[in-house]
Amino acid sequence: MKKSTVGSLILVLFFLFAIFGHETGAQLIKETSAPVKPPWIAAPPPDSREFRYFVGIRTGASTLEEGKDSAFKNALDKIASFLKTRVSSEFEETTTLVDQNVKQKIVAISSAVVSAAKLDALYYEKTSRVDRDFRAERYDVYVLVAYPKEEVSREMERQSNDRRAAARSALDWYRKGMKEEKGKRYAEARESYIRVVNELNSLDEVTPVEGGFVDSSGLLIAAKEKVADLTRRSRRLAIRCRVRGKEELQRQFVTSLTAAIVSGKLDVGIDDPAFEITGEVSVEDGGYIMGNHVSYATGSLEIIHVASRRILSVVPLHVKGFHRIKDMAAKNALKESGEQAGELVVKAIVNDEAKQQK
């Protein structure tokens, strides 16, 4: 135990010597571009008559050029945020420090955002760590960028015009969708309403809209409701199949079939259905096994696209049900067959939709 403690102590002393003994020859040299750190680093100066000011910062840059480029980009991001404009930048390296000219290649929504931005002041701190033959440099760079107030007003007006144009375009698409819906061209109408939603979702502010809507948010709500309604309509099925026998057998099968279809996110109704299910189902006696009556629900269903009269699929049925009461055995067979048929109907329609979209 004692030897272990002594060994651990020696190991710690060895590491301390390795760290601090090696550092004794290292020097940290700090240089600044000005004797006093300018006050605008802590907060931008007040607006002048012509300009609004923004501060860009980059710390720990490996070169002065990298620090200047990144600090200028940081200031541009702040201008863009102020103007609610997204800016992405790809910088070229600067040539000399004398002219303090940061060259940049900008991809932006408005070129005015960057072309009008001017480097007003630059301050940097250079820290060098010198250890024998090793030298490492790091730069903390600060830039003050001036942006003309008239450009702020011009950019705000441009964005406002863009929003109004987008809102007008969205309203035109909405009216187009209404005409298509009236002509029962539901798939086309749905696409038009989706276009409205996409146009309005791109707006960063609520914008006035004509046509009886209070503003773009009201139009957006209406378009989303239209999309949801037409999505349901495009998947609406009318059940027109028949079950031979008593009416209660028909109800049992249709109820089970409807529940399975609805659980698959499809709609069932007779108002302008996109599909219909036709066919005939019958119940056959399967005998008596181990104290239970056996019944078979047999037949087939056709899934038809109403507009084209195209048959999507034929669903064969042969399902058995058990119960000690004969009528209940028949109902169980119809219940099971309705569930199976509903799942196959949903699968056929979903697969057909995927094929149509390709």
Which position has the token pair 């119960």? 323
Question: For residue 22, is pLDDT > 80?
Answer: no
pTM, to two decimals? 0.56
Which residue type sits at 109?
I
Tokens of 51: 């300009």
Who wins on pLDDT, 55 or 26?
55
Range with lowest mean pLDDT among 111-115, 157-161, 298-302, 335-339: 111-115
Between CA 143 and CA 180 the distance in angstroms is: 56
pLDDT tens profile 209-247: 887 787 999 999 999 999 998 888 888 999 999 999 999
| Average pLDDT in the chain | 85
Strand 236-239 and strand 267-268: the pairing is parallel
| pLDDT at 296 (0 to 100) | 97
Contact between 184 and 272 under an 8 Å Cβ cutoff? The reply is yes
Mean pLDDT of 269-280: 93
Chain mean position to CA 334 = 43
pLDDT tens profile 100-119: 333 333 344 345 567 789 99
Which residue type sits at 153?
S
- Largest separation between any pair of C-alpha atoms in the chain: 105
Contact between 107 and 89 under an 8 Å Cβ cutoff? The reply is yes
Range with lowest mean pLDDT among 32-36, 127-131, 193-197, 276-280: 127-131
Domains of the chain are 25-153 (no CATH), 158-233 (1.20.58), 236-357 (3.30.160.150)
Q: How many CA atoms lie within 13 A of 333 on its CB side?
A: 29
Which residue stretches of the chain are H helix?
A: 2-16, 22-23, 64-83, 112-115, 149-182, 186-201, 216-234, 247-263, 326-357
